[in-house]
C-alpha cells in the first residue's frame, strides 16, 4: 500500500509540474506575441525605431529564458524561433514592411504553436 501512495505522490508532482510549466509558457509566449504585434503596428505607422526596439527587447526576453526553453522544449523549435527573431530584426533594419510583416506573422505563429504544443490536451497526449 505504501508503494501505491508513493507512486500517486510522484504522479501528482509530475502533473503539477507539467501544469505549472504549461501555465508559465502560455503567459510567456502570450506576452511575446503581444509585443511583436505591437511592433508590427508601429512599423505599419512608419515608427521603425520603436518597432525595432520592442522586437529587440522581446528577443532579450527570449534569451533570458534560453536555458529553460532548451531543457524543456525541442531544440529545433526554439532554434527556429531564435532564427525568426533574427530575420525579423534584419527586415526591420531594412524597413521593408511587406517582407517584415510576413516574417513577423510567421514568428508569432511559431511562438503560439510552441505554447499550444505544450498544452495538456487529448490531441497532444495521443
* Mean pLDDT value of segment 83-87: 96
Q: Give which of 122, 48, 39 is closest to 85, Cα–Cα.
A: 39
Instruction: For Cα atoms 10, 14, 18, give the angle at the middle one, nearest 5 degrees.
Output: 170
Q: Could you give the CA distance from residue 79 to residue 35 in angstroms, rounded to a whole number?
A: 20
In this predicted structure, what is the pLDDT of residue 125? 63
Domain 2-118 has CATH 1.20.120: yes
| Residue 92: pLDDT over 70 | yes
Instruction: For Cα atoms 14, 124, 8, give the angle at the middle one, nearest 5 degrees.
Output: 25
Q: Are 62 and 85 in contact (CB under 8 A)?
A: yes
Boundaries of every domain in the chain: 2-118
pLDDT, tens only, 30-83: 999 999 999 999 999 999 999 999 999 999 999 999 888 888 888 888 999 999
Q: Counting Cβ atoms within 10 Å, is residue 117 exposed (0-12), middle (13-18) or buried (19+)?
A: middle
* Mean pLDDT value of segment 91-117: 92
* pTM, entire model: 0.84
Amino acid at each position: 500500500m505504501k508503494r501505491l501512495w508513493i507512486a500517486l505522490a510522484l504522479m501528482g508532482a509530475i502533473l503539477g509540474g507539467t501544469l505549472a510549466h504549461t501555465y508559465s509558457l502560455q503567459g510567456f509566449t502570450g506576452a511575446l506575441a503581444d509585443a511583436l504585434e505591437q511592433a508590427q503596428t508601429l512599423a505599419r505607422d512608419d515608427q521603425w525605431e520603436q518597432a525595432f526596439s520592442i522586437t529587440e527587447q522581446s528577443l532579450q526576453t527570449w534569451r533570458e529564458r534560453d536555458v529553460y526553453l532548451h531543457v524543456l522544449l525541442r531544440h529545433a523549435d526554439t532554434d527556429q524561433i531564435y532564427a525568426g527573431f533574427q530575420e525579423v530584426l534584419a527586415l526591420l533594419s531594412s524597413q521593408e514592411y511587406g517582407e517584415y510583416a510576413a516574417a513577423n506573422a510567421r514568428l508569432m505563429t511559431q511562438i503560439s504553436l510552441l505554447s499550444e504544443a505544450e498544452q495538456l490536451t487529448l490531441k497532444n497526449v495521443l
